[in-house]
Chain A
Amino acid sequence: MPVPELLDRFTTDPDLPLRQHAYQSPLRDERLAAWLGAALGVLFTTCFATGLFSHLHQHPLSWLPVPARPAGLYRLTQGLHVACGIASLPVLLAKLWVVWPRFASFPPGRRIADAVERLGVLALVTGGIFMVFSGVANIAQWYPWHFSFTAAHYWTAWITIGAIVAHLAAKAPVTRRALRRPRHRPALADADPVLGTSAEGLHDGLDRRGFLLTVAAASGVLTVTTVGQTLPGLRRLALLAPRDAGDRPVNRSARNAGVVEAAMSPDYRLRVEGRVATPLTFTLAELRALPAHTAALPIACVEGWSYSARWTGVRLRDLLAMAGARSGAAVDVESLEQHSPYQVSFVNHHQAQDRDTLLATHLDGEPLSEDHGFPLRLIGPDRPGVNQTKWVTRITVL
């Protein structure tokens, strides 16, 4: 028997173990796969774009300084990032379920193009599953690994988005055909031997539209029960959100950061140094005696929760002016916390000169608590929470 026929028989004969028709389902057709793929493409691309923005904040580029305004931009983008990631969980599972028999099909490719496509799909599946899993685990602060979440999530995102580009190119003709099909044309007219089936209309379960709507409902329920951690209007429905934004959560307590003793010490000082005319040192009492400014600013965590509050403290630009720093200088703000990747945060010249970038001593009219950064924390518009450095002890003008 010629090899192509043998392969055909091996992969389609219903009596053989690798038979593709064994997985027939009326829902496994290319139109459904195309719709789910399109939805997943939009969700993943949104996650990628907003994730890049977050990465740019945390790993600034000198030639691309992030603006200080609008103040709530990071809150919006990171809220969107986490919400889209959560919403993609049911869509990813549905998409994998619809195309799953393809993973079991054998051989993996008859031509080079087949094999290349399958390799790309492997990158897409492994990357997609990892991105959603690691993201969900991270917001629940579950770390069953020893690598850095941010580094692994970031570099795997590139692999996943590259795999999406390759997959889009491979599936563009099929997707275009599937999505353009007239509504009343039989769904499986162009039956795919793996995804296609002749069983349409003979089942009692969900039809294709019902399945899509149900997957959309699953995404919707997950979104509604979590997005209240950043959208105040839905806070009461956020039953599955890892944080209650109404409690003004923190990502790292003073005890965990190991700063309680240093923060509470009467020897606490803030130092302003670096490229300044006059290095300065302040006690907490001296800082509180300086002209204070109050700003309503959101604090937005990379984990997707956020809330707005009124912060009171001395303007960073006023301190820099007192020390004789040149106008337009950028600064590093350093925490009492040791051995943390976020011990030092960079404040670019836009942010340093913004009227609302403060070294805050009060939150909503009350002195800062230890967990919120007592005695002094940085707070500025359009910055990730991890860069709103707590327990500030040094400002170095660059």
Chain B
Amino acid sequence: MSTSHPAPRGRLFWIGTAAGWAIILYGLRGVFHHSLDTRPSQLARFWIGGAVLHDLVLAPAVLGIGVGLARLAPRRRRATLQQALIICGPLALFAYPEIRGYAHILRNPTSLPHNYTVNLLLVTGAVIGAVAITAFIRRRAGNIRATSARTGPARQDIEAPPGNV
């Protein structure tokens, strides 16, 4: 039996596709119509380069980190590590041009006024701390629930009349 994903179909698909492509073509027309500003060949390199960079570098790197995490990290710590990485990764990506200080070439003292390396470390430290505390609290709550389950139902569960449960 074929397990392929169901192909899109129906009137809504074709109407939406026609409308969407009309807008896409309007955008492409704008790119070429204003080619002095948009420099289509270079812009296309950025479009394609971004997707290639994501698909062939970033996504495999994330997969690799995931595989490493699954093999190296203790099972009960995996979710916590995942949370920390998922939050800190985009923070680092966002802060990259700030840390590199590309804007300093413009000699505008009000642009990039902070020490972004230190600030990124502060923010990621706070994130890791918050994630660790959350995991600790959840583990404690889980332990308490497990203990309750072993020792039987809580007192109020026994005493509560059925209608109020």
Contacts and interface: CB of A to CB of B under 8 A. Distances in A.
Q: Do these two chains interact?
A: yes
B19 interface: yes
Contacts of A255: 107
Contacts of A167: 20
A308 interface: no
A225 B20 contact: no
Nearest to B51: A126
A154 B66 CA distance: 36
B87 A151 contact: no
A374 to B, nearest CB: 16
B86 A151 contact: no
A140 B105 CA distance: 12
B82 A218 contact: no
B133 interface: no
A274 interface: no
A29 B58 CA distance: 21
Interface stretch (A156-164, A326-334, A344-352, A353-361): A156-164
A151 B17 contact: no
Find the residue from A137, A146, A147, A243 having the highest chain B CB count within 10 A: A147
A118 B125 CA distance: 40
Contacts of A134: 46
A155 B44 CA distance: 12
A141 B112 contact: yes
Q: Size range of the interface on A? A: 35 or more
B103 interface: yes
Contact of A172 (B16, B34, B58, B122): B16
Contacts of A171: 8
Interface stretch (B113-121, B139-147, B151-159): B113-121
A121 to B, nearest CB: 10
A244 B8 contact: no
B123 A240 contact: yes
Interface in B11-59: 12-17, 19-28, 30-31, 34, 37-39, 42-43, 46-48, 50-51, 54-55, 58-59
Contact of B27 (A110, A145, A162, A243): A162
Nearest to B111: A141
A242 B116 CA distance: 9
B75 A204 contact: yes
Contact of B86 (A96, A113, A150, A215): A215
B20 A140 contact: no
A169 B82 contact: no
Contacts of A225: 91, 119, 123
A158 B79 contact: no
A4 B50 contact: no
Interface string A60-101: 000000000000000000000000001001100110110010
A128 B6 CA distance: 25
A166 B24 contact: yes
A292 interface: no
A114 interface: yes
B156 to A, nearest CB: 26
A12 interface: yes
A155 B47 contact: no
Contacts of A260: none
Contact of B108 (A97, A226, A256): A256
Interface string A246-276: 0111111101100000000000000000000
A311 to B, nearest CB: 18
Contacts of A122: 51
A321 interface: no
Contacts of B109: 253
A116 interface: yes
Given A159-B24, A166-B20, A154 B30 contact: yes
Contact of B97 (A8, A113, A136, A164): A136
Contacts of B107: 253, 255-256
B112 A249 contact: no
B4 interface: yes
Contacts of B114: 239-241, 244
Interface centre among A150, A161, A205, A210 (most CB of B within 10 A): A205
Given A161-B23, A253-B107, A89 B116 contact: no
B5 A249 contact: no
A249 B26 CA distance: 36
A171 B30 CA distance: 27
A242 B34 contact: no
A192 B21 contact: no
24 contacts: A89-B90, A93-B89, A93-B90, A94-B86, A97-B62, A120-B20, A130-B46, A137-B97, A140-B97, A141-B102, A142-B100, A151-B37, A152-B37, A159-B24, A169-B20, A193-B5, A205-B69, A211-B82, A218-B87, A218-B90, A222-B90, A240-B123, A247-B113, A251-B108
Given A162-B19, A247-B113, 10 more contacts: A90-B86, A154-B30, A163-B24, A166-B19, A166-B20, A169-B12, A205-B69, A214-B83, A222-B90, A244-B114
- A-B pairs, top 8 by smallest CB distance, nearest first, are A169-B16, A166-B20, A162-B23, A158-B27, A249-B110, A141-B103, A162-B24, A159-B27
